[in-house]
Structure 1
């Protein structure tokens, strides 16, 4: 992926191009780019939110999950609860 292609995708996404948004979400997920996913979530992408929750859950990033849950993301709250329950079982 070249910087030019990424810039073009972001420009198309900013214009509301669903395919470009989807491609950015997929690429960010593959790269583990939480900043890109956060930006897409802030722009309203539900797919980016789902990918960010998945990535944060895989990484055990409780702070990110708490932030998402505090902003009303029910999936993040569910993952946060699951991870918290797993931690409780370890003791």
Structure 2
């Protein structure tokens, strides 16, 4: 698996959108926030979506705030839902 991930990262860095999609899927399955953040920072809106979903499921308000501050309306919505009434 490590070799597969390495190859996917190389392909993704070279602009292969299929590799990015695979990395997002694998990182989401593993709950790998670091990988998802790296992909999101590289412009993957799918990675942002998965981060929002995982952070919402975990109640990770700091991550949701970070994503909302970076412009994610979905993160802002989830954050508002989780902090409603606090």
Q: Under TM normalisation by the shorter chain, which class is it?
A: over 0.9
Q: Partner residue of 1:57?
A: 56
- 1:64 positional shift: 0.3
In the aligned structure 1, how far is the partner of 2:63 from the partner of 2:2?
Answer: 27
* TM superposition outliers: structure 1 runs of 4+ over 3 Å: none
Q: What's the CA shift string for 1:10-68, capped at 9, x where partnerless? A: 00000111110000000000000000000000100000000000000000000000011
Where does the alignment leave 5 or more consecutive residues of structure 2 unmatched?
Answer: none
Q: Partner residue of 1:27?
A: 26
In the aligned structure 2, how far is the partner of 1:50 from the partner of 1:64?
Answer: 12
Q: Give the structure-2-normalised TM-score.
A: 0.96
Give the length in aligned residue pairs: 86
Q: Partner residue of 2:65?
A: 66
Computing the radius of gyration from Cα coordinates, the structure with the larger value is 1
Q: CA RMSD in A?
A: 1.0
In the aligned structure 2, how far is the partner of 1:78 from the partner of 1:26?
Answer: 23
In the aligned structure 2, how far is the partner of 1:78 from the partner of 1:48?
Answer: 17
